[in-house]
Amino acid sequence: MSKVTSLIFRSLIVVVLISAIGGLLGWYFFLHSRTSDTQAEDVGRGLGDSVPSFTGSIGNTFQNVLSSITGSEPPQPKASGGAVSQLWHVTLNPVAGADFVQTREGERLYFVERATGNVFSANTHTGLIERLTNTLMPKIYEAAFTTDGAIVQRSIDPKGRATTFIGTITLAPPSPDDEATSTLGSLEGSFLNPGVTTYAINPKKREYFYIMNDAERGAIGIKSAWDGSGQKRLFQSGLTQWRAQWLSDGRIIVTQKAADNVPGYSYSVSAGSSPAPVLRDIPGLTILPKASSQTILYGTSAGGSLALFSKTGSDDPLSLPLKTFADKCVWLPDTAKSATPMKAAGTTSKKSPAVVMVPVAYCAVPQTLGVGDFLNNWYAGRIHTADNWWRINAADGTTQMLYPLDGVDVVDPAINDDGTMITFRDRNDGSLWLLQLPFKEPTKQTATSASSTL
Amino acid sequence: MTRLSIGVRALLSATIALIALCAATPALAQYGDLNLETNAVWITLDPLYPHPGEAVHLKVESPLLDLSTMQITWSVGETVLAQGKGLVDVDFKADALGTDTTLTMTAASASSSVTKTVRVVPTDIDLLYESDSYVPPFFLGRALPFAGSHIIVQAIPRFVRPDGSLVPSDSIKFTWRLNGVTMNALSGKGKSFATFPAPTLFGTNTISLEASTEDGIHKGTATMNISSGKPYVALYVDHPLFGVLYDQSLSSDTALPGSETTFLAVPYYSNVSDPRGEPLRYDWRVDGKTFTPEQSAQNEATIHPDIANQRTTIGLDLTHDENPFLSLTGEWNVTLSGNSSSASGESSDPFHQQ
């Protein structure tokens, strides 16, 4: 091979080598930049984060997830013996449902975490919150408790159908290790068939009532023991859109779902008899019947305005000076410490007059309502209200503001048997609140300028 | 004057007298001193089928008798409600359900009297309705009708017998009418609920019902007007932990934490049972550009803005393949703040709408 050819050949090899190295380097840097982008994206989605522990002092979703987003401190358990404030923000975590439960240790506030379905217990005196269960049931939309702690949880299946779980909380047996603190229990139960549109729980014992769609009849209402036995059909209707309430006196009330300006009807249902009307042909009807009483609190929505009434038996309704609706109200139980007796009307015997308790209700009243169809928009989450708590004497219509809330849109209120506390959720974020009610009978004042207006 | 003409005159006079006597006799026989129930009078009720406790106005009329000159007495059994000369009107309060009251009207003059009775059996009919239009699970409000959907109506009659028992619905004949037209296919014995088409766009349907027992003793009517609802599309966050946040519909301007977010569109009051796909057609837009979601459910879309804290405009046009009246549009401005490192420390709650 001549020198020229050899030189050319060597030059070509060098060029090829340099080109190859340059190309490889370029490819390397190109891939590296893309990898960095992907890694940044993955980190943003949580790659590399340590697996959250659910065995913290609260062990809930807020502590492990939300606190890293908001940077806010989770609600701290109060020291033993410490008192909670009159208005206690129990948890910032979205809650599916809450109620007062009687336990061996006394009354507790049970609530269900929406994200996990885990059940928590809050000591309303010390502020201590404990997790009771470890059964993961994600995305719980509704939850309710019996007075002894059995549970209903509702969610949505992949087909978009509502599911209904009826169960009990099984606490784990105590650990033989004396140094162990608490052990978590589990939820045990079963699912009802899909198609349950509404349900109600017997406040006295473990029974439930539900209405489900029926292809032939429209809807049927069935009462059942907690284990599913003893089922009885109480109700049948061509219509499917009902809400149900079970009162402590045993009455089950079904009421058409409300819509502004649309007439609604409410009936009492029982086995073997036709539905007995409670209220009829009332626009935008929402209703709160009182147990062991003929008194009813009900709201109307018509012409862009809400109105609240109380009615006892066949008497004419009494218009109340507050613009709210029955969903935001609870009755003071007759067994409450602050319940006061009043003489019943029509008493004939002066020696032994019949005594009934003054019907007192507590209602969250929006400070302003805005314009337009309130109920339709509120139910759809298109509007939120900022409420204050009011006390209403349903017998004479006097009212008094009890407690101003700061931007809370009250939903699902519940009152304890003593009538000393109300729990409710904030519809803005699903968080749970507890309000301690004043024990002393407040001075009667009639709401005038303090009442909410459109 | 001849004997013949006198005789003719006498005969003619006798004939006239005889004719007059014959003509008078039937009238005297009809309106003699006897008391009769007669179809020459009738009594109207307003309302025709009163509810319990409702005020009922009764009126007696007659094309043959001059009632204004007659002494009229209204009574229930032995009890006189009202009486007076020419008293053709009276008000009466219907009793409770289960009562069967017979009112008697007696119109009397010096030479005649006529009696008529009318039976008042109070009834009640509740007329309830709802629509099969779409609302999401756990929605506490009632679905409203819109063109293309249906109205389901249920009648709950309260026909109470004197013994207090209720006449069962399957023993009652129901006659349904839509805008005055009798719906024979929906009517019949025991047909206490019926399905009607929803009103047309911006329209109102009048649904009326007449119910009666076979013996005709219990009868009642009810009527209602149903207006068309206004469908709309609402947008919610479908949170990976909490599910769809149905309590917090997105407003026109919303700030949300996080970067990648899935949104769910809910077409309220549309005539579908499942909003996730056909016959609904969802045309999504992001910042004006057509956006095709990756989800199989057409009513869901996951948005992942390239830049944190960027205001993104989500648009949606919703149509129905078989219902040209259903055409919905929505637009929402959403600012996704990005990941936790870029989240504003001032935010105290990630779910507050701002």
Q: Do β-strands B323-336 and B253-256 pair in parallel, antiparallel, or remain unpaired?
A: parallel
Q: Is B242 exposed, middle or buried (0-12, 13-18, 19+ CB in 10 A)?
A: buried
Letter string b/e over residues A18-56, b meaning 16 or more CB atoms within 10 A of that residue's CB: eeeeeeeeeeeeeeeeeeeeeeeeeebeeeeeeeeebee
- What is each CA distance from B209 to A233, B90, B98, B122, B223, in whole angstroms? 28, 28, 21, 16, 6
Contact A94 B142 (CB under 8 A): no
Is the preceding peptide bond at B279 cis, omega within 30 degrees of 0?
Answer: yes
User: Coil, helix or strand for B340?
Assistant: helix
**For residues B218 and B123, what is the distance between their CA atoms, to the nearest angstrom?**
7
Determine, for residues B142 and A262 on separate chains, whether the beta-carbon distance falls below 8 Å: yes
Among partner residues A238, A241, A429, which is closest to B349 by beta-carbon distance? A429
The strand pair at B35-37 and B113-120 is best described as parallel
Cβ within 8 Å of A, B 14-43? none
Number of alpha helices (DSSP H) and beta strands (DSSP E) in chain A: 4, 30
- By percentage, how much of chain B surpasses pLDDT 70? 85
Q: Hey, CA dihedral for A404, A405, A409, A415, is it positive or negative?
A: negative
Rounded CA-CA distance A365/A308 in Å is 10
Residues of chain A contacting residue B159, judged by C-beta atoms under 8 Å apart: none
Q: What is the DSSP string of A148-159?
A: TS-EEEEEE-TT
- Portion 249-278 of B in contact with A at CB < 8 A: 249, 257-260, 268, 274, 276
How many of the other CB atoms lie within 10 Å of CB of B31? 17
Hey, what are A377's tokens?
């928009």
Closest Cα to residue A283, out of A325, A241, A237, A224? Answer: A325
Q: Do A238 and B152 touch (CB under 8 A)?
A: yes
Q: Which of A277, A382, A428 sits opposite B234 (nearest CB)?
A: A382
CB contact under 8 A, B141 and A375: yes
- Among residues 193-252 of chain A, which lie with CB inside 8 Å of chain B? 218, 237-241, 243
- Name the one residue in this structure whose structure tokens are 């008497």: A315
- Smallest Cα distance from A95 to chain B, Å: 9
Whose CA is closest to A223, among A204, A248, A240, A206?
A: A206
Average pLDDT, chain B: 86
Dihedral (CA of A313, A316, A322, A324) sign: positive
Q: In sequence order, what DSSP letters do the residues of B141-160 get, joined into one string?
A: BPPPP-TTSEEEEEEEEE-B
Q: Over the Cα atoms of chain A, what is R_g?
A: 30
- Inform me whether the C-beta atom of residue B140 falls under 8 Å from chain A C-beta atoms: yes
The whole-number pLDDT of residue A167 equals 96
Residue A397: helix, strand or coil by DSSP? coil
Contact across the interface for A277 and B126, Cβ inside 8 Å: yes
Nearest-CA distance A116 → chain B (Å):
8
Q: pLDDT (tens digit, 9 = 90+) per residue, B44-66?
A: 999 999 999 999 999 999 988 89
A138, A239, A262: residue with CB nearest B152? A239
Average pLDDT over residues B161-183: 95
Contact: A376, B350; criterion CB under 8 Å: no
- Which chain B positions have a beta carbon within 8 Å of A69's beta carbon? 257-258, 340, 343, 350
Q: Which residues of B touch A71 (CB under 8 A)?
A: 343, 345, 347
**Contact call for residues A101 and A110 (beta carbons, < 8 A):** yes
What is the structure's pLDDT at A296? 97
Answer yes or no: do B340 and A66 touch at CB < 8 A.
no
User: Do B157 and B169 meet the contact criterion of CB atoms below 8 Å apart?
Assistant: yes
> How confident is the model at residue B344, as a pLDDT?
37
Residue B107 to residues B57, B65, B89, B103, B259, Cα–Cα distance (Å): 18, 9, 12, 13, 88
Would you state the structure tokens that stand for residue A199, as one six-digit string?
Answer: 């349900």
> Do residues A200 and A291 touch, judged by C-beta distance below 8 A?
no
CA pair distance A358, A334, nearest whole angstrom: 8
Closest CA to B90 of B56, B51, B61, B52: B56
Nearest CA in chain B to A381: B247
With an 8 Å Cβ cutoff, are B352 and A92 in contact?
no
Is it the case that residue B178 has pLDDT exceeding 60? yes
Strands B35-37, B42-46: pairing is unpaired
Are A253 and A266 within 8 A, CB to CB? yes
CB–CB of B183/B176 below 8 Å?
yes
Of A233, A229, A188, residue with least CA distance to A212 = A233
Exposure of A390 by Cβ count < 10 A (0-12 exposed, 13-18 middle, 19+ buried)? buried
Within 10 A of B14 (CB to CB), how many other CB atoms are there?
A: 10
Residue B196's identity, in one-letter code, is F
CB atoms B141 and A380 under 8 Å: yes
Do residue A162 and residue B249 have CB atoms under 8 angstroms apart?
A: no
B143: number of Cβ within 10 Å = 22
Structure tokens at A326: 């029955």
Q: How far apart are CA A27 and CA A38, in angstroms?
A: 17
Question: B148 Cβ partners below 8 Å, 6+ apart?
Answer: B198, B270, B271, B320, B322, B323, B325, B326
pLDDT of residue A337: 82
Among all residues of chain B, which has the CA nearest to that of A113? B242
What was the pLDDT predicted at A409?
97
Q: Which of A241, A314, A426 is most worth mutating to test chain B (most B CB atoms within 10 A of its CB)?
A: A241
- The overall longest dimension of chain B from CA atoms, in Å, is 143
Q: How far is A306 from chain B (nearest CA, A)?
A: 15
pLDDT at B17: 58
Are A238 and B154 in contact (CB < 8 Å)?
yes
b/e burial code for range A126-146 (CB count within 10 A of at least 16 → b): ebbbbbbbbbebebbbbbbbb
Which residue of chain A is at minimal alpha-carbon distance from B137? A162
pLDDT in tens, chain A (454 residues): 578 889 999 999 999 999 999 999 999 888 887 877 777 666 555 565 555 444 444 445 555 555 444 444 444 444 344 568 899 999 999 999 999 999 999 999 999 999 999 999 999 999 999 999 999 999 999 999 999 999 999 999 988 899 999 999 998 776 665 554 557 899 999 999 998 999 999 999 999 999 999 888 889 999 999 999 999 999 999 999 999 999 999 999 999 999 999 999 999 999 888 899 999 999 999 999 999 999 999 999 999 999 999 999 989 999 999 999 999 999 999 988 888 888 655 544 555 446 788 999 999 999 998 778 999 999 999 999 999 999 999 999 999 999 999 999 999 999 999 999 999 999 999 999 999 997 554 444 444 433 333 2
Question: Among B259, B345, B349, which residue's Cα sits nearest to residue A66?
Answer: B349
Beta bridge partners of B262: B302
Contact B243/A114, CB-based, under 8 Å? Answer: yes
Residue of B nearest to A279 (CA): B126
CB contact under 8 A, A139 and B242: yes
Q: Which residues contact B352 (CB under 8 A, 6 or more apart)?
A: A428, A429
Look at A179-193, B179-193, B225-239, B273-287 and tell me which has the smallest mean pLDDT: A179-193
Tell me, yes or no, if B332 comes closer than 8 A to chain A by beta carbon.
no
Q: φ, ψ for residue A23 (rounded to 5)?
A: -65, -40
Place of tokens 């948890």: A91
Nearest residue to A308 (alpha-carbon basis) of A363, A263, A260: A363
Assign B170 a pLDDT band (cuts: 50, 70, 90): very high
Q: Phi/psi zone of residue B245: left (φ > 0), alpha (ψ -120 to 50 degrees), beta?
A: beta
Residue among B249, B257, B348 whose CB faces A382 most closely: B249
Q: Does A30 touch chain B (CB under 8 A)?
A: no
Q: Are B38 and B114 in contact (CB under 8 A)?
A: yes
Name residues 95-134 of chain A within 8 A of B (Cβ).
114-115
Asked if A71 and B345 come within 8 Å (Cβ–Cβ), the reply is: yes
Q: Distance from CA of residue B214 to its chain's centroid?
A: 23
Task: Name the residue among A160, A161, A238 with its Cβ closest to that of B193.
Answer: A238
d(CA B267, CA B135): 8
The most distant pair of C-alpha atoms in chain A lies apart, rounded to whole Å, by 140
At A123, is the secondary structure helix, strand, or coil? Answer: coil
- And the tokens for B168? 């069962």
Under an 8 A CB cutoff, do A239 and B140 touch? no
